[in-house]
Amino acid sequence: MTWVDAAIVLAFLGYALGTGLRSRKAASRSLEDYFLAGRSLSGWKAGLSMAATQFSADTPLLVTGLIATSGVFALWRIWIYAIAFLFMGFLLASSWRRAGVLTDAELAETRYRSSGAPVLRLVKALYFGTIVNWVVLAMVLLAATRLAEPFLLWDEWLPRSLFTAIRRMVEWGGIPLSAADVDAGATWIRSTNNVLSIGIILLVTLCYSTTGGLRSVVDTDLAQFALAMIASAVFAWYVIDRVGGLEQMGVLLHERFPDASNGTITASQLLAFTPSQAKDVSLTALLVIALQWLLQMNADGTGYLAQRTMACRSDRDATQAAIVFTVAQVLLRSLIWVPLGLGLLVLFPVDPQLLPAQLSADRELSFVRGMSEVLPPGLLGLMLTGMLAAFASTVDTQLNWGAAYWTKDLYDRFLCASVLRRVPSGRELVWVARMSNLVTVAGALAIVPFLPSIQAAWRLSLLFGAGLGIVLVLRWVWWRLTAWGELASIAGSALLAPATLVLLQGEQDAMRVLVVAAGATCAGVLVSLFTKPEPMPVLRVFYVNTRPPGFWGPVARAAGETGTEAVGRWTSGLTATVMAGLSVFSFLVGIGSWLVGSPPPIWFPWREVWISGLLIIGVLLCPFWASYLMDPVNPPSSQGPGT
Q: What is the pLDDT of residues 480-500, one digit of tens each?
A: 999 999 999 999 999 999 999
- Sequence-distant (≥ 6) Cβ neighbours of residue 474 within 8 angstroms: 481, 524, 525
Burial of 171 (0-12, 13-18, 19+ CB in 10 A): middle
Mean pLDDT value across residues 503-529: 91
Residue 632 has what pLDDT?
46
Cα–Cα distances (Å) from 475 to 96, 440, 480, 543, in that order, read: 12, 29, 8, 11
41 pairs with which residues across the strands?
312
pLDDT over threshold 80, residue 261: no
Residue 215 has what pLDDT?
84
CA distance 519 to 468: 10
DSSP state of 327: I
DSSP state of 91: I
Closest CA to 624 of 589, 587, 549, 573: 573
Residue 194 has what pLDDT?
86
Which residue did the predictor score with more confidence, 542 or 198? Answer: 542
Q: What percent of the chain has pLDDT over 70?
A: 93
Q: What is the pLDDT of residues 458-486, one digit of tens each?
A: 778 888 888 899 999 999 999 999 999 99
Question: What are phi and psi for residue 642, nearest 5 degrees?
Answer: 80, 5
478 pairs with which residues across the strands?
551
Q: Is the dihedral of CA 399, 474, 76, 502 positive or negative?
A: positive
CA distance 52 to 222: 7
- Sequence-distant (≥ 6) Cβ neighbours of residue 344 within 8 angstroms: 64, 239, 366, 367, 370
Q: What is the band of 27 on the pLDDT scale with cuts at 50, 70, 90?
A: low
C-alpha 402, offset from chain centre: 14
- Sequence-distant (≥ 6) Cβ neighbours of residue 146 within 8 angstroms: 61, 179, 364, 365, 368
Q: Where are the domains of the chain?
A: 3-630
Residue 57 has what pLDDT?
67
551 pairs with which residues across the strands?
478
Query: Coil, strand or helix: which one is 196?
Result: helix
Q: What is the band of 262 on the pLDDT scale with cuts at 50, 70, 90?
A: low
pLDDT over threshold 70, residue 576: yes
pLDDT over threshold 50, residue 634: no
Cα–Cα distances (Å) from 201 to 2, 209, 407, in that order, read: 19, 12, 24
Asked whether the beta carbons of 133 and 124 are under 8 A apart, the reply is no
Residue 153 has what pLDDT?
85
C-alpha 54, offset from chain centre: 4
Q: What is the pLDDT of residues 328-368, one digit of tens each?
A: 999 999 999 999 999 999 998 877 777 666 777 777 778 88
Q: What is the band of 642 on the pLDDT scale with cuts at 50, 70, 90?
A: very low
Residue 300 has what pLDDT?
92
Cα–Cα distances (Å) from 553 to 255, 300, 479, 541, 562, in that order, read: 61, 21, 8, 14, 8
Q: What is the band of 640 on the pLDDT scale with cuts at 50, 70, 90?
A: very low
Residue 183 has what pLDDT?
57
| Tally of CB atoms within 10 A around 63 | 25
Q: Is the dihedral of CA 87, 401, 458, 384 positive or negative?
A: positive
Angle of helix 565-596 relative to helix 315-326, nearest 10 degrees?
Answer: 30
Residue 639 has what pLDDT?
42
The DSSP line for 574-593 is HHHHHHHHHHHHHHHHHHHH
Q: What percent of the chain has pLDDT over 90?
A: 46
Q: What is the band of 633 on the pLDDT scale with cuts at 50, 70, 90?
A: very low
DSSP state of 314: S
Cα–Cα distances (Å) from 548 to 72, 450, 480, 543, 565, in that order, read: 37, 41, 13, 6, 10
Residue 636 has what pLDDT?
40
CA distance 571 to 632: 11
pLDDT over threshold 80, residue 209: no
Q: What is the pLDDT of residues 382-429, one digit of tens each?
A: 888 888 777 787 888 888 888 889 999 999 999 998 898 999 887 888
Residue 425 has what pLDDT?
85
DSSP state of 416: I
Residue 355 has what pLDDT?
65
CA distance 618 to 590: 9
Judged by average pLDDT, the poorest of 117-121, 211-215, 568-572 is: 211-215
The DSSP line for 199-236 is HHHHHHHHHHHHHHHHHHHHHHHHHHHHHHHHHHHHHH
CA distance 374 to 392: 24
- Sequence-distant (≥ 6) Cβ neighbours of residue 178 within 8 angstroms: 145, 149, 187, 190, 191, 194
CA distance 494 to 500: 11
CA distance 522 to 531: 14
The answer to whether domain 3-630 has CATH 1.20.1730.10 is yes
| Tally of CB atoms within 10 A around 126 | 16
The one-letter amino acid at 461: S
Asked whether the beta carbons of 34 and 216 are under 8 A apart, the reply is no
Residue 453 has what pLDDT?
67
Closest CA to 130 of 425, 428, 410: 410
Q: Which helix or strand (DSSP H or E) is residue 336 part of? A: helix 333-347
Q: What is the band of 643 on the pLDDT scale with cuts at 50, 70, 90?
A: very low
The one-letter amino acid at 561: E
